[in-house]
Homo-oligomer: A and B are copies of this chain.
């Protein structure tokens, strides 16, 4: 029986990254494309619990695409329930326009969010992103697009056949914006931060103030996903765990004994 592959993203149906991912995995199994009807960048693992969700089925360039008004995380659940009628064997998300490196960015990323939501259900998943700043930059670089298709296919094939090690919940893959002759692929940890947040204040025609949130790059630490991608221009694969619990040894340092004593004192008054 053909393996089922759910393809999703956070950039919506017209992202050239979606097409690459479809090309990469279409022959590895039965592909299902379910994406947000409009871009849902930086929605993280956000879910829609207070608004009804809708799905529509359209054809885009002869490919059947399901559009949904929810977040990438919503889509994983809706796709399973209403499109695939069961769990897929693999969820691939992307290819995102713009890198998703560093824990700071990963935790806010809709692309990684979809993969993480699938991972929470026990489904092997991979998030793919490319360090370009626009659709055009990707569309105009045939060499880059070809590389992304071929490498994404190999990684997806690997995860489909070998699955992921027990403590790895998903793979986060980032492609550089140029292909140097000696391009390499590396398994690297995510940096903690990638941006210094900045706010710019502006005034509307009525004189009211408004703000834009943006980030300026932090210093890139060698050996991290950001450095591998931005400085070395290599492909970065980051195995991600969603286990947010601290280790037993951190807990055993009894740092919290004092806290518990203080709370207990209040509870026993």
CA distance A239 to B246 in the complex (A): 6
Quick one: copies of this chain in the complex?
A: 2
Find chain B residues with CB under 8 A from A214 CB: 49
Among the stretches A12-20, A37-45, A130-138, the one at the interface with B is A37-45
Inter-subunit contact B48/A45 (CB<8 Å)? no
Say yes or no: A250 contacts B244, CB within 8 Å.
Answer: no
Q: How far is the CB of A186 from chain B (nearest CB, A)?
A: 8
Is there an interface contact between B246 and A199, defined as CB atoms closer than 8 Å?
no
Contact A213 B47 (CB under 8 A): yes
In the complex, which of the residues B107, B210, B258 contacts A242, with contact meaning CB atoms closer than 8 Å?
A: B107
The verdict on A187 contacting chain B, using a C-beta distance below 8 Å, is yes
Chain A contact-residue range equals 35 or more
A70 to chain B, nearest CB (A): 7
How far is A166 from B235 in the complex, measured between Cα atoms in Å?
A: 31
With A81-B199, A113-B44 as given contacts, are A245 and B184 in contact (CB-CB < 8 Å)?
no
Whether the pair A266, B150 counts as a contact (CB closer than 8 A) is yes
A256 to B120, CA, bound (A): 21
Write out, one digit per residue, whether chain A residues 240-269 have a CB within 8 A of any chain B CB (1) or not (0). Answer: 111111110011010110111011111100
Residue in B184, B199, B251 whose beta carbon sits within 8 Å of that of A239 in the complex: B251
Give A86 to B44 CA distance when docked, in angstroms.
26
How far, in whole Å, are A52 and B80 apart by their CA atoms in the complex?
34
Q: Is A165 an interface residue (CB 8 A)?
A: yes
Among A42, A54, A192, A208, which residue has the most Cβ atoms of chain B within 10 A? A42
Contact residues in B for A263 (Cβ distance below 8 Å): 151, 154-155, 185, 235, 237
CB of A55 within 8 Å of the partner chain: yes
A245-B238 contact in complex given A120-B103, A267-B183, C-beta closer than 8 Å: yes
Once the chains are docked, how many angstroms separate the CA of A201 from the CA of B82?
A: 9
List of B residues within 8 angstroms of A46 by Cβ: 42-44, 46, 108, 110
Q: Are B158 and A258 in contact (CB under 8 A)?
A: yes
CB<8 Å pairs between A and B, sample of 11: A42-B46, A42-B47, A43-B44, A44-B44, A46-B108, A73-B108, A77-B213, A104-B120, A107-B120, A184-B267, A192-B243
